[in-house]
């Protein structure tokens, strides 16, 4: 990317490694503000192709200019994640955003059975999204209802799990890898695994490593991207 002559108005696809605790919109707004400032533009179209939760890190595809029309295409691609879960407890948000509300005795858990139960989710399944999610219900985000302790009905969604593998099982901690279709909530998948084992589970770490053929190994941190743009500007001005 360092030798690339950027044309952000015409359109660029930028692979960013999203930082922990940033929302996907934080990244979009940050990059839009940076690019408008360094190029002196009043307007610039910038969007992302697939939300990552604030507590997740990893690959975020950012599109600028006319390439924002490609966002739906990228959003439809399968995704790959790696992560960790805490087995034997639940939280209302299915992750670390909220406090533990239930704990279970896991001394009798059949560790050998965990892999088989995870595998049972592979294929086309229906999944209920977390109530702490950005899904809109009657024009309002689900998490806003949840934070006000208002009950809402979240309808099951059709998703596809290509594989769900668990490894490094050191209870209560379990690492996993998932390949799935768009619209899949990994938090819900972890919750459902815990339920199917007759216990509980919640997500503790999540990293998106792939979207279609795009890999996080080819992404840049926000700082590195900004340095690349500035170096590119300097090289072009001195050429």
pTM here?
A: 0.91
- In sequence order, the 6+-apart residues with CB closer than 8 A to the CB of 174 are 84, 85, 87, 114, 166, 167, 168, 201
Active site residue 53: yes
At 96 the pLDDT is: 93
Q: Which residue from 107, 124, 109, 129 is spatially nearest to 190, judged by alpha carbons?
A: 129
Residues 59 and 99 in one domain: no
Residues 50 and 95 in one domain: no
Residues 163 and 189 in one domain: yes
- In sequence order, the 6+-apart residues with CB closer than 8 A to the CB of 79 are 50, 179, 180, 181, 182, 184, 208, 210, 211
Residues 62 and 178 in one domain: no
For residue 135, what are the domain limits? Answer: 79-211
Secondary structure (3-state) at 149? coil
Give the model's confidence band at 137: pLDDT under 50 very low, under 70 low, under 90 confident, else very high. Answer: low
CA–CA distance, 214 with 210 (Å, rounded to integer) = 6
Count of the separate structural domains present in the chain: 2
Residues 54 and 93 in one domain: no
The reply to whether 92 falls in a domain is yes
**Chain position carrying tokens 């002196």:** 40
Handedness of CA 216, 212, 10, 50 (dihedral sign): negative
Reported as a single tens digit per residue, the pLDDT across 29-80 is 999 999 999 999 999 999 999 889 899 999 999 999 999 999 999 999 999 9
> In this structure, are strands 57-64 and 201-211 parallel, antiparallel, or unpaired?
parallel
Reported as a single tens digit per residue, the pLDDT across 156-215 is 899 999 999 999 999 999 999 999 999 999 999 999 999 999 999 999 999 999 999 999
Residue 151 has a CB neighbour count (10 Å cut-off) of 7
Q: Which of 3, 7, 17, 53 is catalytic?
A: 53
Q: Give yes or no for a contact between 160 and 181, defined as CB atoms under 8 angstroms apart.
A: yes
Tokens of 210: 């792939």
Residues 105 and 187 in one domain: yes
User: What angle do the packed helices 111-119 and 186-196 form, to 10 degrees?
Assistant: 130
Residues 234 and 205 in one domain: no
Residues 125 and 160 in one domain: yes
Residues 31 and 146 in one domain: no
Q: Give yes or no for a contact between 206 and 176, defined as CB atoms under 8 angstroms apart.
A: no
Residues 173 and 193 in one domain: yes
């Amino acid at each position: 990317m360092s030798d690339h002559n950027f044309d952000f108005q015409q359109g660029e696809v930028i692979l960013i490694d999203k930082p922990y605790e940033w929302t996907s919109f934080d990244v979009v707004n940050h990059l839009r503000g940076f690019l408008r400032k360094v190029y002196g533009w009043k307007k610039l179209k910038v969007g992302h192709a697939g939300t990552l939760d604030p507590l997740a890190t990893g690959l975020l595809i950012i599109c600028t200019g006319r390439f924002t029309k490609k966002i739906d295409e990228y959003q439809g691609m399968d995704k790959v994640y790696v992560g960790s879960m805490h087995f034997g407890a639940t939280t209302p948000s299915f992750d670390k955003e909220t406090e533990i509300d239930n704990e279970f005795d896991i001394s009798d858990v059949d560790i050998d059975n965990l892999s088989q139960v995870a595998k049972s989710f592979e294929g086309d399944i229906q999944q209920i999204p977390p109530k702490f999610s950005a899904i809109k219900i009657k024009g309002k985000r689900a998490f806003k209802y949840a934070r006000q302790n208002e009950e809402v009905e979240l309808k099951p969604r059709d998703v596809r799990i290509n594989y769900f593998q668990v490894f490094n099982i050191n209870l209560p901690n379990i690492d996993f890898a998932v390949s799935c279709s768009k619209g899949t909530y990994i938090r819900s998948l972890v919750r459902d695994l815990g339920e199917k084992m007759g216990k509980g589970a919640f997500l503790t770490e999540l990293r998106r490593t792939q979207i279609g053929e795009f890999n996080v190994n080819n992404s840049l941190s926000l700082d590195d991207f900004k340095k690349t743009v500035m170096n590119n500007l300097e090289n072009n001005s001195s050429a």
